């Protein structure tokens, strides 16, 4: 099979875009990313990125599908209740794009030694601060790019940190660890399904652009309001007192 012809046939609508190319599509096929949290954010993010042509995706989530998930986690069905979310997503993605290699981890993120496998980028789609802080520390220590997203009520936010060895700006710089790190925003404040989908779509776009070296707004936070239909961007400056800052 001619790989180029296969890519053109499948991804024609992407390749003909002015700011996209066949070479970009070939690059995506070489990329490996890890998605932590496969619920309202992680499920659409994983499906969008697999459909876009990412070559390998690691899915991390110990949870099983519950009936209360279905109003916003639209890649799960009633028949999936009781199954592990990562298994359902793996089945769906492999049917969607058989060229995307999926590896699943049914563990808490802090139970995984990220030193043993380093994907090019970590996507935080979790719903609790304990996971976010542990991922941020692992990515900072290992110089892995880290894209974190969250949703609460009608608001969402997305931030991408490059974690380069000669520059420090991380999640902990902007959100210092304090309060209840086991808090769950969705469970406590509620959320509408389309709000989650909106934030997931933006996180997916940022990821694709960054992987192709076409995203310049790193170390920035995008604040999304589904109530006002607005997106605001702010730069995140290094915090010299951040405990992870080794410079």
Residue 148: give its domain's CATH number: 3.40.50.720
Looking at residue 113, its pLDDT comes to 74
Q: Kindly state the DSSP code that residue 79 receives in the 8-state scheme.
A: G
Q: With respect to residue 6, please indicate whether it lies within any of the assigned structural domains.
A: no
Looking at residue 186, its pLDDT comes to 53
Residues 200, 149 contacting (CB under 8 angstroms):
yes
Looking at residue 111, its pLDDT comes to 79
Q: With respect to residue 25, please indicate whether it lies within any of the assigned structural domains.
A: no
Looking at residue 192, its pLDDT comes to 87
**Domains of the chain: total:** 1
Q: Containing domain of residue 66, as a range?
A: 31-235
Q: What do you get for the CA distance between the two ends of the chain, in Å?
A: 49
**pLDDT lower than 70: segments of the chain:** 1-3, 114-118, 179-189
Q: With respect to residue 211, please indicate whether it lies within any of the assigned structural domains.
A: yes
Looking at residue 1, its pLDDT comes to 40
Considering the entire predicted model, what is its pTM? 0.93
Q: With respect to residue 10, please indicate whether it lies within any of the assigned structural domains.
A: no
Report how far residue 136's alpha carbon sits from residue 29's, in angstroms, rounded to the nearest whole number: 26
Q: Which of 100, 125, 170, 186 is catalytic?
A: 186
Q: With respect to residue 240, please indicate whether it lies within any of the assigned structural domains.
A: no
Q: With respect to residue 15, please indicate whether it lies within any of the assigned structural domains.
A: no
186 catalytic per annotation: yes
Looking at residue 17, its pLDDT comes to 95
Sequence-ordered strand ranges (E) for the chain: 32-36, 56-60, 101-105, 121-124, 145-152, 155-161, 220-225, 230-235
Looking at residue 187, its pLDDT comes to 53
């Amino acid at each position: 099979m001619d790989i180029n012809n296969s890519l053109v046939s499948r991804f024609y609508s992407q390749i003909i875009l002015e700011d996209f190319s066949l070479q970009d599509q070939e690059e995506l096929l070489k990329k490996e990313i890890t998605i932590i949290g496969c619920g309202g954010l992680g499920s659409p993010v994983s499906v969008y990125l697999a459909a876009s042509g990412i070559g390998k995706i690691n899915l991390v989530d110990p949870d099983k599908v519950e009936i209360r998930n279905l109003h916003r986690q639209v890649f799960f069905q009633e028949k999936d209740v009781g199954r592990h979310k990562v298994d359902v997503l793996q089945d769906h993605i492999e049917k969607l794009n058989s060229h995307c290699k999926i590896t699943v981890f049914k563990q808490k993120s802090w139970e995984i030694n990220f030193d043993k496998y380093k994907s090019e980028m970590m996507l935080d789609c979790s719903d609790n601060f304990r996971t976010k802080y542990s991922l941020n520390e692992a990515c900072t220590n290992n110089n892995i790019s880290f894209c974190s997203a969250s949703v609460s009520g009608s608001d969402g936010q997305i931030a991408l940190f490059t974690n380069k060895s000669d520059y420090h700006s991380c999640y902990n710089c902007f959100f210092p660890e304090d309060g209840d790190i086991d808090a769950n925003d969705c469970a406590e404040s509620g959320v509408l399904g389309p709000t989650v989908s909106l934030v997931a779509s933006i996180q997916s776009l940022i990821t694709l652009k960054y992987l192709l070296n076409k995203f310049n707004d790193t170390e920035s936070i995008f604040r999304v309001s589904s109530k006002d239909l607005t997106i605001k961007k702010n730069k995140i400056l290094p915090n010299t007192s951040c405990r992870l800052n080794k410079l």
